[in-house]
Amino acid sequence: MNVTKHDTFPITLPIKKIIRETPHVKTFVFAYDLKSRPGQFINIWIPRVDEKPMSIAYDSGKGEFWLTIFAVGGMTKKLHEMKAGDRVGIRGPFGKAFQYEPGDHLITVGGGYGAAPLYNLAMEASSKKCTVDFIVGARSKEHLLYTDRVKKIKNTKLHIATDDGSVGVKGYNTPILEKLIAEMKKTVAGRKKLKKTIVFAVGPEVMMKRVSDICFKEKVACQVSVERYMKCGFGVCGNCCLDDTGITVCTEGPAMDHKKARKNSDFGVAHRDAVGRKHLY
């Protein structure tokens, strides 16, 4: 374990800009060279409130990074009340990033705020001559995240699914993945491409389990982003251990090969809260 100063002590940063994405989601922009890779996370701290892990939604590599945050509970609602110029504590970046090679074909499957870290991945991959099929799902049109930004990424095709059919395909986003794989299997060129294809899933764990099941059956490479209740962020407190392997998600993940995630009996089934109690998804 290589623990650095910014793992243990937060740096305090002013919020440079706040972008409203949807009625419950805002993107917080910070002017700081985080030196992160897509798939990693930071811990964001509001003094006297709480500290929470958040995926990195974008890192320009030139002194700016973004966090895209749903207002769901105590800490995130407080964060949504903050203004540009207010300061927060940041620790990290932590954890493992997504893995791929220049020229690979990526299929990303995002649900909820998962679209944001997958945008980060697609931006990096497109600069490394990769092609990307970007699948995103949401309850309805107004809850979709990052679609306008994704449309502008080179070599990237956007596929949308909404539960109510207000835009894109009606229903879940996973049938789009099945269709893309089936189409590629039909042609020689597609079959060749499928060998260099990696599926990346970020979103609700039940969705990621479904993506993993499809990839397992179709023998397509797949990586998922596992989330557990995190405290330290660097492998010391043991709060983020998976059942039954006991691996710490903050250091062995969040981004991991789906076969590694599948070795744990709780993947797609249950997670533990702040005091270790088990909750079913």
Ligand X SMILES: Cc1cc2nc3c(=O)[nH]c(=O)nc-3n(C[C@H](O)[C@H](O)[C@H](O)COP(=O)(O)OP(=O)(O)OC[C@H]3O[C@@H](n4cnc5c(N)ncnc54)[C@H](O)[C@@H]3O)c2cc1C
Contact positions toward ligand X, by CB under 6 A?
Answer: 41, 50, 52-55, 68-70, 72-76, 113, 116, 227-230, 254, 273
From candidates 79, 145, 207, 232, binder to ligand FES by CB under 6 A: 232
Cis peptide before 93 (omega within 30 of 0): yes
Report the distance separating Cα 28 and Cα 118, nearest Å: 17
Distance between CA atoms of residues 213 and 224, nearest Å: 12
Q: How many helices (H) and strands (E) does the chain have?
A: 9, 17
Residue pair 232/239 in contact (Cβ under 8 Å)? The answer is: yes
Task: Return the residue of 10, 239, 242, 267 that touches ligand FES, per CB under 6 A.
Answer: 239
Which of ligand FES, ligand X, none sits in contact with 74, Cβ below 5 to 8 A by type? Answer: ligand X
The CA-atom distances, in angstroms, between 148 and each of 60, 119, 152 are 18, 11, 7
Partner whose binding site includes residue 248, from ligand X, ligand FES, none (CB under 5 to 8 Å by kind): ligand FES
Beta carbons of 271 and 279 less than 8 angstroms apart:
yes
Collapsing DSSP states into helix, strand and coil, what is residue 225? Answer: strand
Q: Rounded to an integer, what distance in angstroms lies between the CA atom of residue 180 and that of residue 185?
A: 9
Q: Which is nearer to ligand FES, 136 or 226 (CB)?
A: 226
Q: Which stretch binds ligand FES (CB under 6 A): 70-78, 119-127, 230-238, 270-278?
A: 230-238
The CB-of-175 to ligand X minimum distance in angstroms stands at 25
Find the shortest distance in angstroms from Cβ 156 to ligand X.
20
Comparing CB distances to ligand X, the nearer of 52 and 159 is 52
Residue 70 site contact among ligand X, ligand FES, none (CB < 5 to 8 Å, cut-off depends on kind): ligand X
* Residue of 161, 230, 242, 256 that binds ligand FES (CB under 6 A): 230
- Beta strand 255-257 pairing with 221-225: antiparallel
> Where do contacts with ligand FES occur on this chain (CB under 6 A)?
230-233, 235-240, 248, 250
